[in-house]
Structure 1
Amino acid sequence: MRQTAINARLPGWLALCLAGLLSACGGGGGGGSPAATAAPQAPVPTPAPPAASAPVLVDDGSSAKPATREQAYRFLMQASFGPTPADIDRVMALGYAAWIDEQWAAPQSSHVANWDAADAQLKQQNSQEHGGVLDVVGSFYKVAVTGPDQLRQRVAYGLSQIFVVSTANDSVSFESRNAAAYLDLLATHAGGSYRALLEGVALSPAMGMYLSHIRNQKEDYALGRSPDENFAREVMQLFTIGMVQLQSDGTPLLVNQQTQPTFTAQDITDLAKVFTGWSWSAPQTTEGWFWGWCPEFCMAGRETQPMQAYAQYHSTSEKRFLGVTIEAQTSPNPLRSLSVALDTLAAHPNVAPFLARQLIQRMVKSHPSPAYVGRVAQALGPQGDLKSMVKAVLLDPEARDMRQAALPESGKLQEPVLRMAHALRTLGASSDSGQWLVGLTDDPSQELGQTPLRAPAVFNFYRPGFVAPGTLTGQRGLTMPEFELVNETSVAGYAQYMLDGVANGFGMYGRLWKAPRRDIQLPLEADLPWADQPDALVERITARLLGGRVNAALRQELQDAVATVAVEPLKADGSNRSAVQQQQLNRVRLAIFLTLASPEYAVLK
Structure 2
Amino acid sequence: MIDPTLRRLLAITLLSLLAACGGGGDSKTGATQNPDISVVPPATTAPGDPATPGTKPGDTIPPPPLTTPPANQTATFTRAEASRFLGRATFGPDMAAIDALAASDSDAWFRAQFSKPQTLHRKYIDAKYPVAGAAATKAVPNDFYESFWQQAVRGDDQLRQRVAFALSEIFVVSTQNESVWTQTRGVASYYDMLGQHAFGNFRTLLQGVATHPMMGLYLSHLRNQKESATRTPDENFAREVMQLFTIGLYQLNADGSLKLSGGKPIDTYTRDDVGGLAKVFTGWSWAGPDQGANRFFGSVADPDRDWKPMQNYAAYHSTSEKRFLGVSAAGAAGGEADMALALDTLFNHPNAGPFFGRQLIQRLVTSNPSPAYVGRVAAAFANNGSGVRGDMQAVIRAVLLDPDALAPAGSSLRTGKLREPLVRLGNWMRAFHAKDAALQYRIYYLSDPLSGLGQNPMNAPSVFNYFRPSYVPPNSALATAGLVAPEMQITSEPSVTGYLNFMQDAIRGGVAENSAVQADYSAEVALADQPAALLDRVNLLLMSGNMSSRLRGKILAAVTSIAIPAASGSNAAQVTTAKTYRVHLAIFLAMASPEYLVQK
Which residue number in structure 1 is paired with residue 313 of structure 2? 310
- Which of residues 230, 238, 247 is equivalent to 2:244? 238
How far apart are the structure 2 equivalents of 1:302 and 1:69?
47
Which residue in 2 is equivalent to 1:430? 435
Q: 1:492 to 1:362 in 2, by over 3 A?
A: same
Q: 1:507 aligns with which of 501, 508, 512?
A: 512
Q: Which residue of 1 aligns with 2:344?
A: 343
- Matched ranges for 1:398-437 at <5 A: 398-402=404-408, 404-437=409-442
2:126 to 81, 103, 116: 116
* Mapped partners of 2:426, 2:197: distance in 1: 22
Cα distance in structure 2, aligned partners of 1:99 and 1:39: 38
Superposed CA deviations along residues 340-374 of structure 1, whole A, max 9, x for unmatched, are: 11111111111011001111111111100111101
Q: Match for 2:347: what amino acid?
A: A
Which of 540, 554, 567 is matched with 1:570 structurally?
567
Cα 1:449–1:346 change in 2 (3 A) is same
Distance apart, 1:188 and its partner CA: 0.8
Secondary structure of the 2:545 match is: helix
> What TM-score, normalized by structure 1, do the two folds share?
0.86
Q: Is the 8 A contact 2:286 2:305 kept in 1?
A: yes
1:270 Cα deviation (Å)? 1.6
Deviation of residue 189 (structure 1)?
Answer: 0.7
Structure 2 residue 162 is matched with structure 1 residue 146: no
Deviations 1:173-225 (A, max 9, x none): 1011111111110111111111111111000011011001111111121xx22
Shift of the alpha carbon at 1:165? 0.6
Corresponding residue for residue 394 of structure 1: 400
Q: Is the 8 A contact 1:502 1:592 kept in 2?
A: yes
Partner of 1:132 in structure 2?
140
Separation in 2 of the partners of 1:28 and 1:189? 35
CA distance in 1, matches of 2:3, 2:528: 14
Greater Cα offset, 366-375 or 587-596:
587-596
| Alpha-carbon distance change, 96 to 196 in structure 1, aligned in 2, over 3 angstroms | same
Q: Does the residue aligned with 1:549 lie in a helix, a strand or coil? A: coil
Look up the match of 1:473: 478
> Which residue of structure 1 aligns with residue 265 of structure 2?
259
SS of the residue aligned with 2:373? helix
Residue 600, structure 1, aligned to residue 590, structure 2: no
Equivalent residue for 1:24?
A: 14
In 2, the alpha carbon distance for the partners of 1:370 and 1:533 equals 45
Which residues of structure 1 form unaligned runs of 5+? Answer: 1-10, 41-60, 509-516
The aligned residue for residue 530 of structure 2 is: 533
Q: Distance in 2 between matches of 1:303 and 1:63?
A: 40
Residue 556 of structure 1 aligns with which residue? 553
SS in 2 for 1:452: coil
Count of residues paired in the alignment: 550
1:284 aligns with 2:290: yes
Task: Find the counterpart in structure 1 of residue 114 from structure 2.
Answer: 104
- 1:441 aligned to 433, 446, 454, which one? 446
Q: 1:518 to 1:269 in 2, by over 3 A?
A: same
SS of aligned partner of 2:328: strand
1:388 CA displacement = 0.7
Q: Is the 8 A contact 1:23 1:598 kept in 2?
A: no
Q: 1:72 to 1:438 in 2, by over 3 A?
A: same
Task: Say which SS state the counterpart of residue 376 (structure 1) adopts.
Answer: helix
Q: CA deviation at 1:292?
A: 2.1
What amino acid sits opposite 1:437 in the alignment? R
Q: Secondary structure at the match of 1:522?
A: coil
- What corresponds to 2:278 in structure 1? 272
Q: 1:20 & 1:539 partners in 2: Cα distance?
A: 23
How far, CA to CA, are the matches of 2:412 and 2:529 in structure 1? 38
Instruction: Name which of 72, 94, 100 aligns with 2:104.
Output: 94
Give the AA of the match of 1:579: Q
Seen in structure 2, the aligned counterparts of structure 1 residues 28 and 282 have a Cα distance that, compared at 3 Å, is closer
What RMSD, in angstroms, separates the aligned Cα atoms of the two structures?
2.6
Q: 1:455 aligns with which of 460, 463, 468?
A: 460
Matched with 1:80 is 90
Deviates more, 1:127-136 or 1:488-497: 127-136
- Normalized against structure 2, the TM-score is what? 0.87
User: Compared with structure 1, are the counterparts of its residues 538 and 89 closer, same or farther at alpha carbon in structure 2 (3 Å cutoff)?
Assistant: closer
Equivalent residues of 1:65, 1:94 under 8 A apart? no
- 2 CA distance for matches of 1:388 and 1:533? 44
Share of identical aligned residues, percent?
43
Give the C-alpha shift of residue 483 in structure 1. Answer: 1.4
Q: Distance in 1 between matches of 2:136 and 2:188?
A: 21
Residues 17, 28 of structure 1: CA spacing in aligned structure 2 closer, same or farther, 3 A cutoff?
A: closer
* Structure 1 Cα separation of the partners of residues 585 and 13 of structure 2: 13
Q: Which amino acid aligns with 2:191?
A: L
Partner residue in 1 for 2:231: 225
d(CA) in 2 for partners of 1:355, 1:132: 32
User: Structure 1: how far apart are the matches of 2:342 and 2:25?
Assistant: 46
The structure-2 alpha-carbon separation of the partners of 1:568 and 1:160, relative to structure 1 and needing over 3 Å to count, comes to same
1:520 maps to what in 2?
A: 517
Using the TM superposition, give the Cα deviation of residue 14 of structure 1 relative to its aligned residue in structure 2, in angstroms.
Answer: 6.4
Most deviating of 13-22 and 538-547: 13-22
Q: Does 1:543 align with 2:540?
A: yes
Shift of 1:67: 4.1
Shift of residue 521 of structure 1? 1.1
Counterpart Cα distance in 1 of 2:76 and 2:3: 39
Please give the alpha-carbon distance, in whole angstroms, between the structure 2 residues aligned to 1:241 and 1:118: 40
Q: Give how far 1:117 is off.
A: 3.1
Measured after TM superposition, the shift of residue 564 of structure 1 is: 2.4
